[in-house]
Chain A
Amino acid sequence: MIFAVFKKVLVANRGEIAVRVIRACREVGISTVAVYSDVDRGALHTRMADEAFHIGPAPSRESYLVIDKIIDVARRAKAQAIHPGYGFLAENAGFAKACADAGITFIGPSAASISLMGSKVESRRAAAQYGVPMVPGTLDPVESEAEARRIAESVGFPIMLKASAGGGGKGLRLVRGADELESAFRNTRSEALAAFGDSAVYIEKFVEQPRHVEIQVLADHHGNAVYLGERECTIQRRHQKVIEECPSPIMTPDLRRRMGEAALKVVRAAQYYNAGTVEFLVDKNLQFYFMEMNTRLQVEHPVTEMVTGLDLVKLQLQVARGEKLTLRQEDVVMRGAALECRVYAEDPENNFFPSPGKITQLQTPAGPGIRDDSGVYEGWTVPIEYDPLISKLVAWGANRDEAIGRMKRALQEYYVGGIKTNISFFLEILEDSNFKQGFFDTGFLDRWFANRNGSQPIPEVHHDLAVLAAALQYSSRTIPGGASNSTPSNPWKTAGRLGGLRRR
């Protein structure tokens, strides 16, 4: 394999992750090419990149997901490499192959690794051959209800039925007892066929009170691999991660070493290079089981960066250039604790319904230990077509308590006007005593919602001041120079933004 020295990288993504990759490239002197759809004209990533190419209409299947368009832009811009971010084409083996065929470096693993780890059945089979612990169950799809019943009885109820082609929490069904099995098996198969075009279903023993703990790995083209600690991703809503942290509150040095070594076995099984994440379920007795491998940069990678002091995107660039890892396992030192809150444009008071629209005011937090990986700016309209993630707020502290305290302080500083966000929801969770003690499992949020006290009544003086402020705002815009000494724009903020975006 011949490695290209690349001076220009195309970022095949949008939003905060495109901004994240552009920042890493700029820090090492690599120029960047952004792509954008109709509704992303003027998006933060297009403003920050050195070059920007329009690739089509808003729906991602007509823009960000069209392999030919991305490859064509890379050719026209003479980019030597493509970073896929996460989502969109990041775990598309066909895209990795198309890059290779076009002589462009795909900043990720091989197409073969993506295919292997993308299949629930094949990835488990490969990992099992290397002795990675698995949840008891089947590796092969279960063909008949009778076979399903025999397996379920041998591993013991409750069990999970899982669509082989499923993912992101879809195509899963919990079966508590033998009487539920017949209809559950039939329904899971037909749903899997409808949703994924593949009716294959396998069986796993249901792990009770599980936690999701994942191991960050990094491997080069020369057979060197390290694990970079874990991330605790147990706080989930509808199988989507909400808060992630590093280290996990349940972790011990011995468990970390055993899980890290198991993750490196998966790396070898997949002949993997690039940054990657091996996801495990951990039960209440701290037994861990392989779930799957994500063959890309993870959304929550910043918590690992804060604790290890490493820059995973730059490390991805080094690996893609064919460099050998200089980092040895004993060099990986974890310091302090970090949390991440995914700030979404959604309404926590209305069943988390998406709340896209124009951001009329934006105050982002700063100060000690705070990192805000954002993809938006004041005046930007969050489009309706994509994931409503607007930023990832990350807090680091010398220990978990300090990180939580900083996160609360930063959430209180954070203000997004014009659209609804889940910022207030995070503030409530961070006050939860079980959360504060690190005592939770994947059912935490369901129980939390069931016991939620609802919003507190507003104190009278706050109510009155709110009414007064609304009246002041009303009078200032109906009467020129009205009751307030208003400034038409904020020169400091404008200067700060321009400074932040100015290049070289």
Chain B
Amino acid sequence: MKYTAVVAGKSIEIEFEAKNGTIEARIGDRRYTLESSNVEPGVYWFNLQNQSIEVRVTSAGETFTVSIAGQSLPVEIVDARSALKKAAQRGHEGMVEVRAPMPGKVVRLLVADGAEVNANQGLLVMEAMKMQNEIKSPKKGVVRKLSVSEGVAVNSGDLLASIE
């Protein structure tokens, strides 16, 4: 199987074949042969040259947070199909979605629909656990759609606004 992973903005090619608990993998230009077992949901045990290594994976969409030896790494996986989908989305030239970085409550809107905003200008204020945090515009543009109103509770990843 062949995928592209994106780690810290850099793409890396992955190819692997799994047979009877043994995995042959190529990651970038490095090759590995290892034993693998999906020991619990989201938990992989690897035996790499008799080194016992446990890796935990949690996911939000196509982005995974991988935890290994006490460190964590965000990894995005792209296959041929989702790469096509991505390209199609880019058809909305310059439309950027702003999503909630954490669950919380929208306490204040700082801009209105149709307002012109600069990059890093505050769009709204969210509150989680009594701490307030300003959600900023990722780019200069026009607020095309404010998807939330004041007082509304949102979950992590909910659409807050679109900036064109």
Contacts and interface: CB of A to CB of B under 8 A. Distances in A.
B105 A467 contact: no
Interface string A444-481: 00000000000110101111111111111111101000
Interface stretch (B10-18, B87-95, B113-121, B142-150): B10-18
Nearest to B43: A361
B66 A357 contact: no
A486 to B, nearest CB: 4
A464 B36 contact: no
A43 to B, nearest CB: 16
Interface string A481-492: 001111111100
Given A465-B55, A466-B75, A424 B70 contact: yes
Given A384-B129, A475-B1, A467 B104 contact: no
A470 B129 contact: no
B68 A464 contact: no
A185 B77 CA distance: 58
A474 to B, nearest CB: 4
B64 A470 contact: yes
A312 B35 CA distance: 49
A285 B103 CA distance: 47
Contacts of A465: 32, 46, 48, 53, 55, 68
Contacts of A355: 102
A415 B67 contact: yes
Given A357-B156, A483-B18, A467 B32 contact: no
Nearest to B75: A470
Nearest to B21: A485
B73 interface: yes
Contact of A471 (B53, B77, B127): B77
Given A465-B55, A466-B73, A470-B77, A361 B48 contact: no
Nearest to B17: A483
Interface string A382-395: 00111110000000
Contact of A357 (B12, B28, B68, B102): B102
B58 A418 contact: yes
B66 A466 contact: yes
A469 B102 contact: no
B44 A472 contact: yes
A468 B32 contact: yes
A478 B79 contact: yes
Nearest to A427: B70
A103 interface: no
Given A485-B38, A486-B41, A487-B38, A461 B48 contact: yes
A325 to B, nearest CB: 39
B21 A360 contact: no
A423 to B, nearest CB: 8
Interface residues of B, number: 56
B79 A473 contact: no
Given A388-B129, A462-B68, A466-B66, A473 B57 contact: yes
Interface string B8-36: 00001010101001010101101010001
A357 B1 contact: no
B102 A483 contact: no
A412 B156 CA distance: 27
A354 B18 contact: no
B103 A357 contact: yes
A490 B71 contact: no
Interface string A376-416: 00000000111110000000000000000000000010010
B102 A458 contact: no
B139 interface: no
B102 A353 contact: yes
Interface of B: 1, 3, 5, 7, 12, 14, 16, 18, 21, 23, 25, 27-28, 30, 32, 36-38, 40-44, 46, 48, 53, 55-59, 62, 64-71, 73, 75, 77, 79, 102-105, 127-129, 131, 133, 153, 155-156
Going nearest first, the 10 A-B pairs with the smallest beta carbon separation are: A354-B129, A484-B38, A466-B66, A470-B75, A470-B64, A469-B55, A417-B58, A474-B77, A464-B27, A473-B57
29 contacts: A361-B40, A361-B42, A384-B127, A384-B128, A384-B129, A386-B129, A412-B70, A424-B71, A460-B30, A462-B68, A463-B73, A464-B25, A465-B48, A465-B53, A467-B14, A467-B66, A467-B75, A468-B27, A469-B46, A471-B77, A472-B36, A473-B44, A474-B3, A474-B77, A478-B79, A485-B21, A487-B38, A488-B41, A493-B40
Interface of A: 353-357, 360-361, 384-388, 412, 415, 417-418, 424, 427, 455-456, 458, 460-476, 478, 483-490, 493
Given A356-B103, A384-B103, A484-B38, 14 more contacts: A353-B102, A354-B131, A384-B153, A415-B67, A464-B27, A469-B46, A470-B64, A470-B77, A471-B1, A471-B14, A473-B44, A473-B64, A483-B18, A485-B37
